[in-house]
A and B are shown apart, each in its own frame.
Chain A
Amino acid sequence: MIDRSLPPLLSVRGLEKHFPLGQGMLGRAVRHVKAVDGVDFAIWRGETLGLVGESGCGKSTTGRAVLRLLEPTAGEVHYDGMDVRALDRESLRAFRRRAQFVFQDPFGSLNPRLSVGAMLEEVLEVHGLGGANRRDRAVELLELVGLRPEHIDRYPHEFSGGQRQRLGVARALSVEPEFLVLDEPVSALDVSVQAQVVNLLEDLQAELGLTYLFIAHDLALVEHVSDRVAVMYLGRIVEIADAANLYREPRHPYTRALLSAVPRPDPVGREQRERIVLQGDVPSAVDPPMGCPFHPRCPHPAKDDVCGSVRPLLEGDPGGHLAACHYQPSGVETST
């Protein structure tokens, strides 16, 4: 099981990813979109960390920056003791055998011109895996994700959305990784198919001992799959805790608003349900508000000038429930 006394498999500190916006006179970008603006978290072997937030909060960019699909602007990423940002080309290739990515779009994430067999065999070939008979290994991978051997000669357009997502998982697993970044892996799928793919991911985790960074905007789903959950807002983590704690006792006002906004599939008592409806929209990440990024929309009664000038740090129970709010409730029960 998950042993948090060991050093974490992945630890991220002060991660930043800024995208240049337009060009200045001398070819240097004058303004930046601060998509990820100082993110800290750690993932221990065998666990699932859920990363939630609304569109544009930087969750997907964080996932890509961790695997260096995007080069981070600043910060540290350590994977099993290794400095990911310092890897040269050869060691980066080796790292990518250990850490893989599953994409959101089941239609865009597969090369339409390659048959399933060609796609999987290419990966095996590049990494010198699968031995003499790569086709047999490809069939094994298909069976691992619940597809049939005869699917091997088909092309992506001949599969349904759920099946394509299984293919994306099979491709990621073909290099036998231990860590997967799952970027909205089921949000493009129908509800009934979502459940199939989520169950598959959970089975694979148990079977192969995988560690997941599960990025999604569906809060109920993240609660279901995650051991711990981090909530992002405007490029920063505003709260991180065990899933049960975070959903039962949210400490950050944003988390509370987010949770209360989720429509519940149960009409009983809907009129009485307390709902915090936030006003306005998320501010631009080009020019995020000073201090706490959430303060312009924050409904917290204690909100004051400090919120608008001092950036709150993630704090709370050490190693347990952390929130980035100056006025988080203190003395709530600690994590198990």
Chain B
Amino acid sequence: MSAESAPALLSVRDLRTWFFTDQGVAKAVDGVSFDVRAGETLGIVGESGCGKTVTSLSVLGLLPQPPARVMEGSSVRLRGEELIGSGERRMRALRGNEISMIFQEPMSSLNPVYKIGGQIAESLRLHRGMDRKAARAEAVRLLAEVGLSEPERRVDEYPHQLSGGMRQRVMIAMALSCEPSLLIADEPTTALDVTVQAQILELLAELRGKFGMAVLLITHDLGVVAEVCDRVVVMYAGQIVETGTVYDIFGEPAHPYTRGLLDSLPSVEDPGKRLDSIPGTVPNPIDWPTGCRFRARCPLATEGCELPQDLVELGEEGRTARCWRAPSLVATGAAT
């Protein structure tokens, strides 16, 4: 499924999105680079405030500017076309067409006063130039596609008449209406129960196979990442701290933060074992620590960590960690 050497569909380089607030400049995203290859699922994981959502909104140009500003030198390319500074008209043409997005809270993404069929049809008429009747028929087909029962009836229902899982299915149907090449899913299952989450993840995997679209999955849930992603980007304090395949990240985490995250989950083999927590809290984006941003919370911090850290290549292509000690940590195995 993962296309190893396929050219990048989306290429983000040195993305810096800063917020200019009364309290100071919040460097929410501070130099982020990654590629999404056609057809793959890339996960961006991190805790709240790490910049993962701002990254995804910057890609789509959906942040209100000001207070946000995508800084000089940032680049977001879709199939080689630069999106930063391409203008609102071009972005509107791409959004919902080439790139679609689904959000955590499907209720607030749907307009409560319109029937769901009308909302899907609106997008179809806009992007695919369908007439009213064809759009409605297509809406019914899409609702069936995303596994909504009785789509002919549901098409005339309002968002509040649906359950959370059904609303997320409607959102996915809308996102799929133009068969996008990239779907950005921002915490798509966080508001859902586990059994419904399983349904939605299964649906996403199925649709990905069918349409061959790439998925950029933004989440804080390491379990979800392990279940569905091909490659993973771990973010902390506005930066990428580790990248690799899902097997690398979970099998041999190289950055102390990634290790800390995994260790703070209950162990599957020994559920009663005391959790290893990361001390302290995520620093303030207005005042990121100097040097390694994880230094103050890192159990392995020593001399040398007070210097700014670059992403260090770790052997295979696309395997990096923002820690100067990562090569030796990986070599000596998981020794936390």
Contacts and interface: CB of A to CB of B under 8 A. Distances in A.
Q: Do A and B associate with each other?
A: yes
B298 to A, nearest CB: 12
Given A247-B271, A265-B250, A267-B247, A192 B197 contact: no
Interface stretch (B23-31, B100-108, B218-226): B218-226
Interface string A248-282: 00000000011011111111101000010111111
Interface string B256-287: 00001111111110011111111101100000
Given A263-B221, A264-B268, A267-B227, A195 B277 contact: yes
B193 interface: yes
A223 B271 CA distance: 6
Interface of B: 47-48, 149, 163, 165-166, 193-199, 201-202, 220-227, 229, 246-247, 250-251, 260-268, 271-279, 281-282
Contact of A221 (B195, B222, B266, B282): B266
Cβ-closest 4 pairs across A and B: A263-B223, A195-B277, A195-B264, A224-B266
A196 B279 contact: yes
Q: Which among A160, A162, A277 has the highest number of chain B CB atoms within 10 Å?
A: A277
A224 B268 CA distance: 9
Given A261-B194, A263-B227, A265-B225, 5 more contacts: A162-B281, A224-B271, A224-B273, A264-B226, A277-B202
Given A263-B221, A264-B227, A258 B194 contact: yes
Nearest to B272: A224
A54 B196 CA distance: 10
Nearest to B266: A224
Contacts of A258: 194-195
A243 B271 contact: yes
Nearest to B50: A190
A290 B98 CA distance: 48
A54 B220 CA distance: 19
A193 interface: yes
Nearest to B247: A267
B166 A281 contact: yes
Nearest to A162: B281
6 contacts: A190-B282, A224-B271, A260-B198, A262-B194, A267-B246, A267-B247
B250 A267 contact: yes
B271 A277 contact: no
A195 B220 contact: no
A2 to B, nearest CB: 14
A233 to B, nearest CB: 10
Contacts of B225: 265
Nearest to B249: A267
Contact of A190 (B48, B196, B266): B48
Contacts of A195: 263-265, 275-278
Contacts of B247: 267-268
A192 B250 contact: no
A217 B194 CA distance: 8
A274 to B, nearest CB: 12
Contacts of B196: 54, 281
A220 B224 contact: no
Nearest to A56: B193
Contacts of B251: 267-268
A19 B281 CA distance: 40
B266 A192 contact: no
A247 B271 CA distance: 10
A192 B221 CA distance: 12
Contact of A263 (B224, B276, B279): B224
Given A196-B277, A263-B201, A263-B227, A54 B195 contact: yes
A335 interface: no
A195 B261 CA distance: 9
B163 A266 contact: no
A220 B221 CA distance: 13
Nearest to A202: B274
B261 to A, nearest CB: 6
B264 A266 contact: no
B49 to A, nearest CB: 8
A61 B295 CA distance: 42
A73 interface: no
Contacts of B221: 263
A282 B247 CA distance: 34
B194 to A, nearest CB: 5
Nearest to A279: B199
Contacts of B149: 280
Given A195-B264, A219-B194, A258-B194, A265 B281 contact: no
A265 B262 contact: yes
A263 B225 CA distance: 8
A60 to B, nearest CB: 14
Given A54-B194, A199-B277, A247-B271, A265 B223 contact: yes
A193 B193 CA distance: 22
A54 B275 contact: no
A192 B277 contact: yes
Contact of B264 (A163, A192, A202, A223): A192
A258 B199 CA distance: 12
Given A196-B277, A198-B275, A277 B199 contact: yes
A195 B277 CA distance: 5
